[in-house]
Chains A and B, each alone.
With several copies, the nearest count.
Chain A
Amino acid sequence: MSLFKERQYLRVHVDREPDDSLWMKCKSCGELVFKRRVRENSNVCPSCGEYFFQTSQERLESILDPGSYEPFGERLAANDPLSFTDSRAYQERVAEAQAKTGLDDAILIGRGAIEGIPVVIGVMDFRFIGGSMGSVVGEQICRAIEASIADRRGFVLISSSGGARIQEGMFSLLQMAKTVTVRRRLAEAGLPFVSVMTYPTTGGVEASIASLGDIIIAEKGAMIGFAGRRVIEQTIAEELPAHFQTESFALERGQIDRVVRREDLRSELAVALGFFVGAR
């Protein structure tokens, strides 16, 4: 059964590069593993447990009940409010990212169900310009939250983002304010927000919506922090502790509620959301 209903307007390239081989070699343990097996195992090596990169589409597939995903109707794409060009034009970067990922921007949002519990879910995708939050990501998060309120469902956001999208300048920074402003409404409506932090959840995303979950779950292997390692190392001219900004660092430091293995994320979310089903 396919997770993604066949809809013309959402073309999902679950396999990033078309590849006819049925088998892949795990970089960690060297075993040849059956690709479909890896997919079904949340992109975790069935042999050694190594985590392979998971796209937003793959994440949806591994978390939502089969066939339950319904993307929102309207597709949005980045504008270029500053006519921004660095070594390349922003518009080119966006077009390339769209082509590479099959996504409109760095987030997928829609309705779905997790072990039967209806949710609205957003999944960020690091492949799309570092998962950065520009106007589209900000707007989509707001629409997702508004749909949560309208449908009285919990909201789940799976972050994978380096932070703000520099190329949109202040428009991008203000998405922090935007998402948080709308997040408040969810709280006022008495609906839960479960924030899932993956590799990486940093910068302006970490310092806004992602840190405001009623429950914050980090995936094993996540990177969590505000400032980048390089910036900090330059500032303090010291080497950083080994597990700095890892999920275990965040747990010890009281920044997150729980760490879960990717394979368990689905059941974890079901348990967490279950407490709020029928909440006032």
Chain B
Amino acid sequence: MTDERTLDLLEAKIEELRQLNAMDGMDLSKEIARLEEKLAVLRQDLYSNLTDWERVRIARHPKRPYALDYIASVFSDFYELRGDRIVGDDRALLAGLARLEGRPVALLAQQKGRTTEENKERFFGMTRPQGYRKAKRVMELAERFGLPLVSLIDTSGAYPGVESEELNIGGAIAENLQTMAGLRVPTVAVVIGEGGSGGALAIGLADRVLMLENAIYSVITPEGAAAILWKDKERAREAATALQMTAPHLLELGLIDGVVPEPLGGAHKNPAITSAALKEAVVHHVNELAAFPLDQLLAARYARYRNVGRYSARPVTDS
């Protein structure tokens, strides 16, 4: 199958032809139109049946929009709240208030860095205990004022460092889960890129869990699984498939509530369209949840998480 780079080259050629066409008197419009059709077909071929590994690569694509790229268009008036009131402020997990079509909401958003400088500040998008405790503080703020809580998840995982362990990162994640389990406001979580294990779930125990079409959500990175289970880091591609970490798989497994469509080739091909789709989905679910009586909302959340998992009764045998 044609790969992405070849298509990009073809697209560039078409653009060159278009300029030539404009400059000179000669009429290439028919030929250009035909080439464009061809390009569209090739693109459709390439992208519409993405393998799991291709989705992993799109989810991690360096040009993929990050949380802040969406926040400005999905929400208005993002008003950042910083700090855990204890140790520090984590720049890999942003928190604050914002408006969603005018409705005040509380927002949690994991943010990766694009430049080296930014990645240093944001610890490559990996959340530290300071970030989880800030998130908990803002969850409680949301509860106090009855504001729906929206989480945008995008992290390869919680930051694995000495300081993280010193500051009880496991305890911080556990407390966030406990807080979200009973939070008396509607909660919506969207995995916009990577949903990395407990580091993602810590802000993801929500009434509705959505994923962008090419986002992934997994108990472990494909590389981690390959190293542990296959004893071979190179087999990440196989692991990615086996773990069923893509949005379509997780929807089929009944573990998420919806998939937000991305343009062909991924969100980075057209951030504006992705953003619009994301907004539509978030607005829809927040509105739907806000219409529920609170006790029903909490009962539904309880039932959802109480019942997740697949097991069988083990028959009594004398083997």
Give me the interface of A with B, judged by CB distance under 8 Å. Answer: 8-9, 74-79, 81-82, 84-87, 104, 134-136, 138-139, 142, 164, 166-178, 180-184, 187, 190, 192, 202-204, 206-212, 214-215, 225-228, 231-232, 235-236, 238, 240-241, 244-245, 251-258, 271-272, 274-276, 279-280
Contact = CB atoms under 8 A, between A and B. Distances in A.
B312 A77 contact: yes
A193 to B, nearest CB: 10
A155 to B, nearest CB: 14
A226 B218 contact: no
B182 interface: yes
Interface string B150-172: 00000000111110111111110
Contacts of B59: none
B198 A139 contact: no
Contacts of B134: 254
B245 interface: yes
B177 A180 contact: yes
Contacts of A235: 159-161
Given A86-B242, A276-B104, A251 B146 contact: no
B41 interface: no
Given A86-B229, A166-B219, A174-B255, A226 B173 contact: yes
Nearest to B123: A235
Given A87-B231, A226-B169, A255-B83, A240 B313 contact: no
A117 B179 CA distance: 30
A219 to B, nearest CB: 15
Interface in B48-87: 77, 79-87
Interface in B168-213: 168-171, 173-175, 177-178, 181-182, 197-198, 201-202, 205
B71 to A, nearest CB: 15
A226 B176 CA distance: 15
Contact of B170 (A175, A182, A226, A238): A226
B228 interface: yes
Chain B interface size, under 10 / 10 to 19 / 20 to 34 / 35 or more? 35 or more
Contact of B255 (A79, A142, A171): A171
B177 A208 contact: yes
Contacts, number: 256
A91 B18 CA distance: 58
Contacts of A135: 309-311
B253 A81 contact: yes
A257 B134 CA distance: 10
Most buried by B among A77, A138, A172, A177: A177
A254 B197 CA distance: 25
Interface of B: 77, 79-89, 97, 99, 104, 130, 134, 141, 144-147, 158-162, 164-171, 173-175, 177-178, 181-182, 197-198, 201-202, 205, 217-220, 224-225, 228-231, 238-239, 242-245, 250, 253, 255, 301-302, 305-314, 316, 318
A73 to B, nearest CB: 10
Nearest to A79: B310
A174 B309 contact: yes
Given A77-B314, A252-B88, A254-B85, 11 more contacts: A8-B316, A78-B311, A79-B311, A86-B239, A166-B229, A170-B244, A173-B198, A176-B201, A180-B178, A190-B145, A272-B97
11 contacts: A166-B243, A180-B205, A184-B182, A231-B224, A253-B87, A253-B89, A253-B165, A253-B166, A272-B79, A275-B147, A279-B147
B217 A170 contact: yes
B219 to A, nearest CB: 4
Contacts of A183: 178
B314 A86 contact: no
Contacts of B307: 178
Contacts of B168: 211, 253-255
A227 B89 CA distance: 21
A276 B146 CA distance: 10
Contact of A75 (B85, B170, B316): B316
Contact of B164 (A78, A226, A272): A226
A181 B181 contact: yes
A179 B213 CA distance: 29
Contacts of A187: 144
Nearest to B86: A254
Contacts of A231: 160, 224
Given A207-B198, A226-B165, A256-B82, A178 B308 contact: yes
B169 to A, nearest CB: 5
Contacts of B79: 271-272, 275
Contacts of B177: 176-177, 180-181, 208
Contact of A182 (B104, B171, B220, B306): B306
Given A177-B177, A204-B198, A271-B79, A87 B230 contact: yes
B165 A244 contact: yes
Contacts of A204: 197-198, 219
Q: Which of B77, B130, B158, B169 has the most CB of A within 10 A?
A: B169
Contacts of A240: 162
A76 B36 CA distance: 57
Contact of A139 (B130, B170, B255, B311): B311
